[in-house]
Chains A and B, each alone.
Chain A
């Protein structure tokens, strides 16, 4: 039982990070029909930007700020203007393939400029335990979970409770009508790209101390988050959050109670089941687009 509790906490902590990345998938899909297959690499890169800042002499807190800002410029602004905008007019598939190429490019560039070997990354939450219901739970897991929940709450508040959020929803649901009523659609789309870049930078900050900074570490994350987004519902932010948490917990439980060798297959089987029996995802709605 104690083991189950530990597994659930660890699964939720990992799942919360998947959720952050999966939310980005849904945001980009809703506003610009972009399926970003480089999303995993988007999580890997900010850690290296922060490491580069630290190597240049910046303290950790400053490196975090610089890393997040640079991520928003490179993975938000530049990604949209240099890759998505020129490719979008050719359709979803060429754009998806272009993001695959981008993923390879980012990985190789990191390998070239940093190293093929893993690097350590300092944790933002101190190591140590606290007792919850008589169980020792690591501060790191709690910290990861707390930061991820705060980020998601902040995002949902922005989307549902502010005028800006409503404009973003309008731009996603029906850009033509949104334009007619005066919503600056292009700016709203750019905003979702910037939010996605912020979320992946945050995920990078949370996951890299555990996974280590390595050029290939985005592969697993990107895949898990993609599955999470589909399982939860590609057209709902809350679906992506639920999907992320579910995949994180499922992965850990599968590794513990099914088989460590087949752990990677369990989320995939779950994904197939969802596609067969509920193609819109667990919380998604058929033929509807909202952010």
Chain B
């Protein structure tokens, strides 16, 4: 009797261990505290929501997904240590971080380990270094800025443009691409103004814009500085149309800038206000689960997990070494995998091509004015 019980216990233990071993392990390193806490928390919640959905439907190739979350504290040094720790546990795919600076220092570690890294960073340079394991969840600047320049030239009919940018990797990267594209299209940059991160006083910068009298102003700053310059532009009575990216017309900017944000337009790669049924569905599920409306980082985290699912199902097996090769050049259609929300194609460099949106702030609310199609 004793031996039967022992055998039963051993069998139960072996079964449990086997089920546990069969789970596909993902590792997430995100900005869960510090300055990027909003970014990282949205990203993490998006991941958790996707995993819950996928597991409820039987997992990927019959195996459940499991994720561990680690906090980078919005600090590249901590992010590097956390990624190294996560890679030591040999995950199937690494998710995150969201900040470009943290991605920059962690990408070589994942590449060395041969593990695909699906991240939230948007700086142009991230995917230009020949890293074969790095994938975006949103547009890099080299994909979004040509769309912005085209809109300024074709739709705003601007022959002269003032460009204001923040003097860091993010700002300089965007500025370089947009200036090149504007030049190629024939719009002249009449003021090219660099500003500092954390700058409080924009009176002189706006004075320069006013003196240049451009047909349009392209603003590429972080959220708080965007709000400050919007207020100053209004204060000094600049009436030229304003164009930017997500950082110019985000909800936080609208809250901080108040009336001054009205009329500002921006190109947005991902927005939960998009007139797409699947995105509306995501927004509803997310809001119900977490009691707040997600920003685009919530979408990014959610998409990252569905990228893992679609790629693995395409391979027909769980193979971390072949994952990156399979995802390069892959097109995932929303009709086949609704979790991917919109048709998306991954390039050989890990960049994405997807439709995007032109948003305008109208009476303090983001309004999607135009859907910009995939480039290819």
How far does the alpha carbon of A212 sit from the alpha carbon of B252 in the complex, in Å? 12
Question: Does B200 make an interface contact (CB < 8 A)?
Answer: yes
Chain A, residue nearest B212 (CB): A3
Q: Give which listed residue, B195, B201, B204, B255, contacts A120 with CB less than 8 A.
A: B255
CB <8 Å contact, A260 and B235: no
Which of B138-146, B153-161, B224-232 makes up part of the contact surface? B224-232
Would you list which residues of chain B between 193 and 227 have a CB under 8 Å from chain A? 193-196, 198, 200-201, 203-205, 207-208, 210-211, 224, 227
Query: In the complex, which of the residues A210, A217, A254 has the most CB atoms of chain B within 10 Å of its own CB atom?
Result: A210
Is A33 at the interface (CB under 8 A from chain B)? no
Number of A-B contacts (CB under 8 A): 88
Report the minimal beta-carbon distance from B250 to chain A, rounded to whole angstroms: 12
Kindly list chain B residues whose C-beta atoms are within 8 Å of the C-beta of A119.
256
Q: Is the CB of B203 within 8 A of A252?
A: yes
- CB A257 to nearest CB in B, in angstroms, measures 9
Q: Chain A residues near B200: list those with CB within 8 A.
A: 210-212, 217, 220
Contact B228 A263 (CB under 8 A): no
Of A129, A140, A220, A263, the contact of B204 (CB 8 Å cutoff): A263
Q: Is B184 an interface residue (CB 8 A)?
A: no
Beta-carbon nearest neighbor of A211 in chain B = B200
Interface residue ranges of A211-237 to B (CB < 8 Å): 211-212, 214, 216-217, 220
Q: Are B204 and A116 interface neighbours, CB within 8 A?
A: no
A260 interface neighbour in B195, B237, B252, B257, Cβ under 8 Å: B195
> Is B167 close to A, CB under 8 A?
yes
Q: How far is the CA of A115 from the CA of B211 in the complex (A)?
A: 37
Asked if B234 is at the interface (CB within 8 A of a chain A CB), the reply is yes
- Chain A residues near B256 (CB-CB < 8 A): 118-120, 212
**Interface assignment of B35: CB less than 8 Å from any CB of chain A:** yes
Q: Determine the chain A residues whose CB is within 8 A of the CB of B34 once the complex forms.
A: 116
A127 touches B234 (CB 8 A): yes
Q: Which residue of B lies closest to A261 (CB)?
A: B194
| B211, A11: Cβ atoms closer than 8 Å | no
Judged by a CB distance under 8 angstroms, whether A156 is at the interface is no
The distance in angstroms between the C-alpha atoms of A254 and B203, with both chains bound, is: 12
Query: CB distance B207 to A6 under 8 Å?
Result: yes
Q: Which residues of A contact B198 (CB under 8 A)?
A: 216, 220
User: Complex Cα distance A11/B231, Å?
Assistant: 16
A136 within 8 A of B: yes
| A256 contacts chain B at the CB level, 8 A cutoff | yes
Residues on B with C-beta less than 8 A from A136 are 237
Judged by a CB distance under 8 angstroms, whether A36 is at the interface is no
User: Is A141 located at the chain interface by the 8 A CB criterion?
Assistant: yes
The majority secondary structure among interface residues of chain B is: helix
Q: Determine the chain B residues whose CB is within 8 A of the CB of A120 once the complex forms.
A: 227, 255-258
| Cβ contact within 8 Å between A256 and B207 | yes
Cα–Cα distance between A137 and B255 once the two chains are bound (Å): 25
Interface size band for A: 35 or more
- Known contacts A252-B204, A260-B204; is-contact A210 B231 (Cβ 8 Å): yes
B15 close to chain A: CB less than 8 A:
no
User: Which of B37, B194, B201, B237 sits near A14, CB closer than 8 Å?
Assistant: B201
B128 located at the interface, meaning its Cβ lies under 8 Å from any Cβ of chain A in the complex: no
Cβ–Cβ contact A7 & B207, under 8 A: yes
CB of A138 closer than 8 Å to a CB of B: yes
Decide yes or no whether B343 CB sits under 8 A from chain A.
no
Contact, CB under 8 Å: B201 / A251: yes
Asked whether A10 lies within 8 Å of B203 as measured between CB atoms, the reply is yes
Residue of B nearest to A258 (CB): B204
State whether the Cβ of A106 lies closer than 8 Å to any Cβ in chain B: no
**B-contact bits for A164-204, CB 8 A (1 contact / 0 none):** 00000000000000000000000000000000000000000
CB of A287 within 8 Å of the partner chain: no
Residues of A contacting B167 with CB < 8 Å? 261
Which residues of B have CB within 8 Å of A118? Answer: 224, 227, 256
Asked if A73 lies at the interface with its beta carbon under 8 angstroms from chain B, I say no
Provide the residues of chain A in CB contact with B258, threshold 8 Å.
Answer: 120
Asked if A255 CB lies within 8 Å of chain B CBs, one says: yes
B66 within 8 A of A: no
Check A10/B207 contact, CB under 8 A, given A120-B256, A138-B235, A260-B193.
yes
B236 at the interface (CB under 8 A from A): yes
Is A7 within 8 A of B204, CB to CB? Answer: yes
B259 interface contact, C-beta 8 A: yes
A-B contact pairs, 7 of them (CB 8 A): A117-B224, A127-B235, A209-B231, A210-B232, A212-B224, A252-B201, A260-B204
Question: Lowest 7 CB-CB distances: which A-B pairs, in order?
Answer: A255-B204, A10-B203, A3-B211, A211-B200, A256-B204, A138-B235, A252-B204
A-to-B contact residues, CB < 8 Å: 2-3, 6-7, 10-11, 14, 116-120, 127, 129, 136, 138, 140-141, 209-212, 214, 216-217, 220, 251-256, 260-261, 263-264
* 5 further contact pairs, Cβ within 8 A, besides A120-B227, A127-B259, A138-B237: A3-B211, A117-B252, A120-B257, A210-B231, A261-B194
